[in-house]
Amino acid sequence: MADSESPAASGDDANYVVVARRYRPRSFTELLGQDHVAKALGGAIHTNRVGHAYLFTGARGVGKTSTARILAKCLNCVQGPTTSPCGECDICQGVSQGSDVDVLEIDGASNRGIDEIRELRQNVNVRPSRARYKIYIIDEVHMLTPQAFNALLKTLEEPPEHVKFIFCTTEAEKIPITILSRCQRFDFAGIETRSIADRLAQIAAAEGVQADAEAVAILARRANGSMRDSQSLLEQLLSFGGERITVEDVQRLLGAVGDERIEALVKAILAHDAATALGELDNAFLQGVDPSLLMDQLLGYLRDLLVAAAGCGPESFRFTSNAQQQQALQTGRRLGVDTVLALIQVVDQTLSRMKFSTYGRTLAELAVVRLSRMENLVAISELLGAMRSGADVQVAAPGAGQSSVAPDLKKKAAELASPAPGGPPSAVSNGQATPLAELTEASLPQIWRDALARVTDSLGVAAGFADSVRVSGPNRVAVVFSAQYDSYAEMCRKPDKLARLEKALCDATGRLVKLDIEVTGGTEAVHPARPTEPATTTKRNRLKEVVDQPFVRRAMELFEAEPVNVDDSQVAPPET
């Protein structure tokens, strides 16, 4: 039913009022999608706890200004304060039409300066002419200048008892914290698609027009949570003058493609059929569809596929029609989250580029081809797991089925699932220490033998300071030191030394190799005795003896180091 508090539509164009104004909610019970706001404000009125300043924030068209007017009527109605204003008295009629002398609606964008706020501060001391309260509704309050906000602070904190402030904004983050702390803030959520569709159906019936349920659902989805946007679109359809609103009318108005074309496009993409996908795209463009709008529809469909892949049901879909829901549910769960996320990223990047490019069609075609060539990421993970377990894996050719995988995928998966090239067999990779000679002669190919010889010599294996070298896992080499040579192990554990040794292994083998330094129990008998040092020696002789050690020479060659010059001062021999 039309709002009786606003001028109704008539044959006279001068008196015509658009749908969005005529069907505004008149009370809290008619306010859709904002039950939490209606309950809080109604409770404040019942308990006589109405604040002096409120901030309503949210997206466009969700009912902020309408709620402000409803609150003003509740406070000033002749039967009030009440949560159910009569809507018939002069005050209620004046508030609905925006002409009441005590309820002042101010546009923050055009009255944003300090001079306007100074005038407001002077006027707040004047009592209302006929109502209980003088109410200031400032729309788009975030447009006020910083100086205007500062001038408003004191009045906002301690206004006269007869003054109430209601601020409305779509960008609350731009409002100074000093203003926010003085207001009771209410965040308005987007209105559910189902609620918007029901309201549009009521308006169409009140206007004497029959509307198809699917046509109304498309309008509600396109509004994206904004009741005013949906009513503006319905206004355009009503202006066609027809007695029925069909899906074709809505698609012609919006410049969008039908759901069946989006479904066919996605089917061709998932079948890796780029030619068919480009053909569907071309047919849509021939119908006058905007490329960015088409990609936006595709993104919405992929969003519902993602919801299905995550395990949600059709009740969570927002962009898919009722006829498509079961197909979308099956497709999303078959593809999996990883694949759908990759598809969404391509479309999202394309939409971002379209905003700054004049070649929208080319970018859309590029995106479709990229989507058609994308592999099924879930199939790759399953293939790897199957090959590691030794199961037989069947790989379908592109386009042969819904779970098609590229022919060379099996080869790629085999490379990823196999151990490192040249890695030792399980007999020598079981975690048991194996002498270097056995590994070198029996198991390791030449490239590993050369790399290990180069590195382990620098660690003192050749001089007998380490017990053994073993391959402890895929691409992992462990050098085991005897406990009595723990100091040598600590030296080898230094990050800079380990990093250089691991780099040498990596360069030689072509694999990322991790080097582990371990210490285990052992006896001195299995190692050559260390040479007995003289009672005294010079630093130069001591350094020469150290440099003459084979593993030290190998380390110096590896690190390209030169011995330092020292004096001939006497030093005591090191403790043994």
* Sheet containing 53-58, strands listed edge to edge, beginning at the edge strand earlier in sequence: 103-107, 134-139, 163-169, 53-58, 184-188
Predicted local confidence at residue 490, as pLDDT: 76
**Are 363 and 477 part of one and the same domain?**
no
**Residue 483: DSSP 8-state:** G
**Are 370 and 382 part of one and the same domain?**
no
**Least-confidence region, from 150-164, 380-394, 398-412:** 398-412
Residues in CB range of 14: below 8 A, 6 or more apart: none
**Are 473 and 500 part of one and the same domain?**
yes
Domain assignment of residue 13, yes or no: no
Residue 299, sorted as left (phi over 0), alpha (psi -120 to 50) or beta, turns out to be alpha
**Least-confidence region, from 231-240, 246-255, 439-448, 452-461:** 439-448
pLDDT in tens, 446-487: 555 566 666 666 665 545 556 677 766 666 777 777 776 677
Rounded to the nearest 10 degrees, what angle do helices 227-238 and 193-206 cross at?
A: 30
Size (the chain), residues: 576
d(CA 535, CA 399): 84
**Are 245 and 269 part of one and the same domain?**
no
Domain assignment of residue 309, yes or no: yes
Domain assignment of residue 12, yes or no: no
CA within 13 Å, CB half, 273: 15
Share above pLDDT 90 across residues of the chain, in percent, rounded to a whole number: 34
**Are 572 and 480 part of one and the same domain?**
yes
d(CA 277, CA 265): 5
**Are 153 and 37 part of one and the same domain?**
yes
d(CA 478, CA 469): 6
**Are 57 and 173 part of one and the same domain?**
yes
The residue from 132, 157, 188 where one domain ends is 188
Query: Terminus-to-terminus CA distance in the chain, angstroms?
Result: 102
**Are 285 and 365 part of one and the same domain?**
yes
- Could you list the residue range(s) of the whole structural domain that residue 479 is in? 425-576
d(CA 187, CA 470): 64
Predicted local confidence at residue 240, as pLDDT: 79
Predicted local confidence at residue 517, as pLDDT: 81
Predicted local confidence at residue 421, as pLDDT: 43
**Are 79 and 204 part of one and the same domain?**
no
Angle at the Cα of 442 (from 436 to 448), degrees rounded to 5?
65
Per DSSP, what are the bridge partners of residue 571? 537
Predicted local confidence at residue 13, as pLDDT: 56
Residue 30 CA to chain centroid, in angstroms?
35
Which range of 45-59, 310-324, 403-417 scores highest in mean pLDDT? It is 45-59
- Residue 137, helix vs strand vs coil: strand
* Number of neighbouring beta carbons within 10 Å of residue 422: 16
305 confidence band (pLDDT: 50, 70, 90): very high
Domain assignment of residue 169, yes or no: yes
**Are 316 and 449 part of one and the same domain?**
no
Strand 514-520 relative to strand 53-58, pairing: unpaired
The more confident residue out of 267 and 5 is: 267
- CATH number for 241: 1.10.8.60
Judged against a pLDDT cut of 70, whether residue 376 lies above it is answered with: no
d(CA 296, CA 191): 20
Q: Tell me how far CA of residue 576 lies from CA of 240, 303, 492, in angstroms.
A: 103, 72, 20
**Are 448 and 470 part of one and the same domain?**
yes
- Residue 266, helix vs strand vs coil: helix
Residue labelled with tokens 């007999």: 427
Predicted local confidence at residue 344, as pLDDT: 92
Judged against a pLDDT cut of 60, whether residue 502 lies above it is answered with: yes
Residues in CB range of 509: below 8 A, 6 or more apart: 420, 422, 447, 448, 451
The residue from 188, 218, 236 where one domain ends is 188
The more confident residue out of 47 and 259 is: 47
Predicted local confidence at residue 253, as pLDDT: 83
Domains identified in the chain, total number: 5
Angle at the Cα of 386 (from 382 to 390), degrees rounded to 5?
170
- CATH number for 357: 1.20.272.10
Domain assignment of residue 5, yes or no: no
Which ranges of 47-164 would DSSP assign to H, the alpha helix? 64-76, 90-97, 114-123, 146-157
Domain assignment of residue 402, yes or no: yes
- Residue 165, helix vs strand vs coil: strand
Which pair of tokens denotes residue 355? Answer: 């905003």
Domain assignment of residue 11, yes or no: no
Predicted local confidence at residue 87, as pLDDT: 86
CA within 13 Å, CB half, 120: 30
Domain assignment of residue 447, yes or no: yes
Which pair of tokens denotes residue 307? Answer: 């919801």
Per DSSP, what are the bridge partners of residue 537? 571
Of 413, 327, 324, 349, nearest to 375 (Cα)? 413
Answer whether 421's CB lies under 8 Å from 510's CB.
yes
- CATH number for 152: 3.40.50.300
**Are 226 and 341 part of one and the same domain?**
no
Answer whether 211's CB lies under 8 Å from 204's CB.
yes
Which ranges of 172-273 would DSSP assign to H, the alpha helix? 177-180, 193-206, 213-223, 227-238, 247-254, 259-270
198 confidence band (pLDDT: 50, 70, 90): very high
Of 428, 434, 465, 485, nearest to 551 (Cα)? 465
